[in-house]
């Protein structure tokens, strides 16, 4: 099935203190690593950038300006993907360590019949619901997972989920709300999302370990 990827790299990096997707780790920018993996695993790649930013990374089919929100940026990427695409993979540039195996797993799950597929990891910590500093309840964690990108979807369903301009914490939430069947594949604990300088240091350390193995 024809598969395209959207690499979302339009964020301002407010919590990081700057556009983290353009920071370098081991002489390569985070966004470049994400684009290179997507290129190996998909038929075409669209990268979504902050408005006014020129693309100077690895070759892509299109580089487009993003919107005010993540969902708006994904919609900008979708507009650049041909209607012939059957599967669309959405990946955050802030996850530079996602590998070919993870891309392959979510794509395979959609090819096997799911409307969408996301990598997930079981929640290991105890979760508390609180009001202010007061614990209200302890949330059962047996059926909870934390979700990563890349996430893969049947292209028509992803387009339909975004058609009304809906917002969500990830694309899977929009497809779920539209009635799609989203499945979970095993995630990768090393597939970290860089949101702080400490995360960047950890990614650097993990890459160093990989280079020695």
Tokens 């996430």 locate to 151
> For position 169, what pLDDT does the model report?
87
Nearest to 92 by CA among 146, 148, 173, 52: 148
Q: Which one, of 52, 50, 57, 3, lies nearest residue 29 by Cα?
A: 57
Structure tokens given for 105 = 């797993």
Q: Compute the mean pLDDT over every residue in the chain, rounded to the nearest whole number.
A: 94
- pLDDT of 2 above 80: yes
- Whether pLDDT at 89 is above 80: yes
For residues 54 and 37, what is the distance between their CA atoms, to the nearest angstrom?
20
Query: Helix (H, G, I), strand (E, B), or coil: what is residue 40?
Result: helix
pLDDT of residue 5: 98
- Cα separation, 26 vs 186, in Å, equals 27
The pTM (predicted TM-score) of the whole model is 0.94
- Token representation of residue 62: 């299109």
Q: What helix, strand, coil percent values describe the chain, rounded to 5?
A: 30, 25, 40
Is the pLDDT assigned to residue 108 strictly greater than 80? Answer: yes
**pLDDT exceeds cutoff 80 at 17:** no
Only one residue has tokens 């069947």, namely 181
With cut-offs at 50, 70 and 90, classify the pLDDT of residue 210: confident
Rounded CA gap, 9 and 21, in Å?
6
Q: Which of 26, 24, 32, 28 is nearest to 49 (CA)?
A: 32
Q: How many residues does the chain have?
A: 213
**Residue 207 pLDDT:** 85
Across the range 43-52, mean pLDDT stands at: 97
Question: φ and ψ at 77, to 5 degrees?
Answer: -65, -40
- Residue 213 confidence (pLDDT) above 70: no
Tokens of 25: 């780790």
Domain 3-212: give its CATH code.
Answer: 3.90.550.10
Which pLDDT tens digit goes with each residue over 58-76?
Answer: 999 999 999 999 999 999 9
* Strand ranges for 33-109 from DSSP E: 44-49, 62-65, 87-92
pLDDT at position 26, please? 83
């Amino acid at each position: 099935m024809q598969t395209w990827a959207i690499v979302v790299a339009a964020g301002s990096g407010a919590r990081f203190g700057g556009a983290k997707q353009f920071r370098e780790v081991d002489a390569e920018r985070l966004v470049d690593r994400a684009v290179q993996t997507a290129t190996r695993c998909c038929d075409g790649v669209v990268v979504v950038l902050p408005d006014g930013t020129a693309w100077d990374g690895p070759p892509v089919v299109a580089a487009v300006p993003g919107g005010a929100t993540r969902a708006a940026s994904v919609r900008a990427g979708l507009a650049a993907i041909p209607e012939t695409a059957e599967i669309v993979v959405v990946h955050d540039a802030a996850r530079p360590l996602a590998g070919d195996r993870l891309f392959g797993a979510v794509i395979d799950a959609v090819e096997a019949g799911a409307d969408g597929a996301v990598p997930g990891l079981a929640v290991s910590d105890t979760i508390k619901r609180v009001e202010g500093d007061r614990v209200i309840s302890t949330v059962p964690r047996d059926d909870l997972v934390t979700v990563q990108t890349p996430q893969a979807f049947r292209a028509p369903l992803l387009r339909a989920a975004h058609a009304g301009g809906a917002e969500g914490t990830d694309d899977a939430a929009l497809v779920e709300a539209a009635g799609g069947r989203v499945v979970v594949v095993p995630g990768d604990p090393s597939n970290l999302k860089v949101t702080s300088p400490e995360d960047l240091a950890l990614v650097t350390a993990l890459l160093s370990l990989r280079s020695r193995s």
